[in-house]
Amino acid sequence: MAEKLKGETRESPDIARTALASTAEPIQVNFNTLPAEENPPDRISIRDVAKQAGVSIATVSMVLNQNPRISRGTHVRVQRVIDSMGYRPNRLAQSLSSRYTQVLAVILPPLRHAFADAYFGEILSGISDRAGKLGHKLLIEQAKPQYIKEGKHIELYERRFVDGVLCLGFNEKHTFLSDLRQYPMILVDNRFGDGVLDYVHCDYRMGAKQAMNCLLQLGHRNIGMIYAAPESPTARDVLEVYTTELRNAGIEVKESWLADGCFTDEGGAAAANLLTHRDKDITALLCGNDKMALGAIRYLVEHGRKVPQDISVVGFDDIQHLAYANPSLTTVHLPLYELGVAACERLVSRIRGKVDRVADVLPTHLVLRESTSIVRTR
């Protein structure tokens, strides 16, 4: 138990303060000297500006929208008034008449930790950055069953919340996607119904080929696979390339080499358990994502199998901070940030009617780290 010294309790913690002083910049937040905003920031409308500038509201509107029919002189004069009054156009009114909201929605699957997920996070970063640059705001939604049942995803367009939608983490099982096919929408990192919906996804076939090449070159022949979500076309791509590449190497794939890991780390651990028990000779595991790979490694290490000495593991995603795992993970790098950028870019093009079909596939590459090694000869 902590012994308490009388008279010392509740004393000011100087040392902490000292530490602070040395690191923190001086902080002064004096609210009395802050620029006094006009108390009720009385909404200034386009009419006020027009009156002040001695022109019609149409002129102000045209100045706002850089309409070339406005003369240089008027433009400058009106702009000056706009700036001096601190006028900012009400975008509800703008959207109401212009029919564009300048807002995009991102729909995520109803997973408990969808927002804390590195995979979605990386894509979201890309989307957010590009949306900002294109002058669009981002609305975030989770497609809970109730949400879909109530048709909220359709309301997004119908009630004019957004101009377009990006769907992340969905596959062909999510039939609500087809409700959106008549609106600007892009399915991110998957395909749907043989390409009925616009999409942008990573080249999972290329990634799988890169991973399998690596393992085969390291001499592995008994390679297990922890897959997930076989209803997802891109996930299926990996499975297919996996078997094809084995065949091409003259190896007959055993059914017992396959296990579903549900994209989670627990699932990955469970799958590793299953696979290693079904076939003691497996020397390598290809995993559908990094989380499962991590779970598998944890399971293996905890059960006395050394990674990579006894068994090699390859992941998919190349999630940040997993480079720091122990052993660090060999994985297929998916350009998730770029995927987000591309998806956002294409969606805006679609909204503006500049393209009428989006079907992009982004290249991957393999990142060799510590979780793979040459097969051990017994």
**15 or 92, CB closer to DNA?**
92
The minimum distance between CB 257 and DNA, in angstroms, equals: 57
Contact between 18 and its own copies per CB under 8 A: yes
The minimum distance between CB 73 and its own copies, in angstroms, equals: 27
**192 or 330, CB closer to its own copies?**
192
Which one of the spans 62-70, 161-169, 217-225, 366-374 is the region binding DNA (CB under 7 A)?
A: 62-70
Contact between 361 and its own copies per CB under 8 A: no
Compute the residue count for the chain: 378
**82 or 366, CB closer to DNA?**
82
The minimum distance between CB 321 and DNA, in angstroms, equals: 44
Contact between 230 and its own copies per CB under 8 A: yes
When binding is defined by CB under 8 A, the residue of 124, 187, 271, 275 that contacts its own copies is 124
Alpha-carbon distance of 316 to 189, in angstroms, equals 13
Contact between 154 and DNA per CB under 7 A: no
- Spatial CA neighbour of 290 closest among 331, 334, 347: 331
Contact between 20 and its own copies per CB under 8 A: yes
Contact between 73 and DNA per CB under 7 A: yes
Contact between 193 and its own copies per CB under 8 A: yes
- Contact 110/144 with Cβ under 8 angstroms? yes
When binding is defined by CB under 8 A, the residue of 47, 91, 277, 306 that contacts its own copies is 91
Q: In the 3-class helix/strand/coil scheme, how is the chain assigned residue by residue?
A: CCCCCCCCCCCCCHHHHHHHHHHCCCCCCCCCCCCCCCCCCCCCCHHHHHHHHCCCHHHHHHHHCCCCCCCHHHHHHHHHHHHHHCCCCCHHHHHHHHCCCCEEEEEECCCCCHHHCHHHHHHHHHHHHHHHHCCCEEEEEECCHHHHHCCHHHHHHHCCCCCEEEEECCCCCCHHHHHHCCCCEEEECCCCCCCCCCEEEECHHHHHHHHHHHHHHCCCCCEEEEECCCCCHHHHHHHHHHHHHHHHCCCCCCHHHEEECCCCHHHHHHHHHHHHHHCCCCCEEEECCHHHHHHHHHHHHHCCCCCCCCCEEEEEECCCCCCCCCCCCEEEECCHHHHHHHHHHHHHHHHCCCCCCCEEEECCEEECCCCCCCCCCC
Alpha-carbon distance of 54 to 39, in angstroms, equals 26
**62 or 188, CB closer to DNA?**
62
Which one of the spans 45-53, 129-137, 170-178, 228-236 is the region binding DNA (CB under 7 A)?
A: 45-53
Spell out, one character per residue from 245 to 284, where the chain touches its own copies: x when CB under 8 A holds, - when not: x-xxxx--xxx--x-x----x-------------------
The minimum distance between CB 169 and its own copies, in angstroms, equals: 14
**96 or 196, CB closer to DNA?**
96
- Spatial CA neighbour of 242 closest among 256, 229, 258: 258
Q: Restricting to residues 126-145, which ones interact with DNA according to CB under 7 A?
A: none
Contact between 58 and DNA per CB under 7 A: yes
When binding is defined by CB under 8 A, the residue of 56, 67, 71, 326 that contacts its own copies is 326
The minimum distance between CB 323 and its own copies, in angstroms, equals: 10
The minimum distance between CB 41 and DNA, in angstroms, equals: 11
Contact between 40 and DNA per CB under 7 A: no
Q: Restricting to residues 172-191, which ones interact with DNA according to CB under 7 A?
A: none
| Residue numbers at the binding site for DNA (CB under 7 A) | 43, 45-47, 54-62, 64-65, 69-71, 73-74, 87-90, 92-94, 96-98
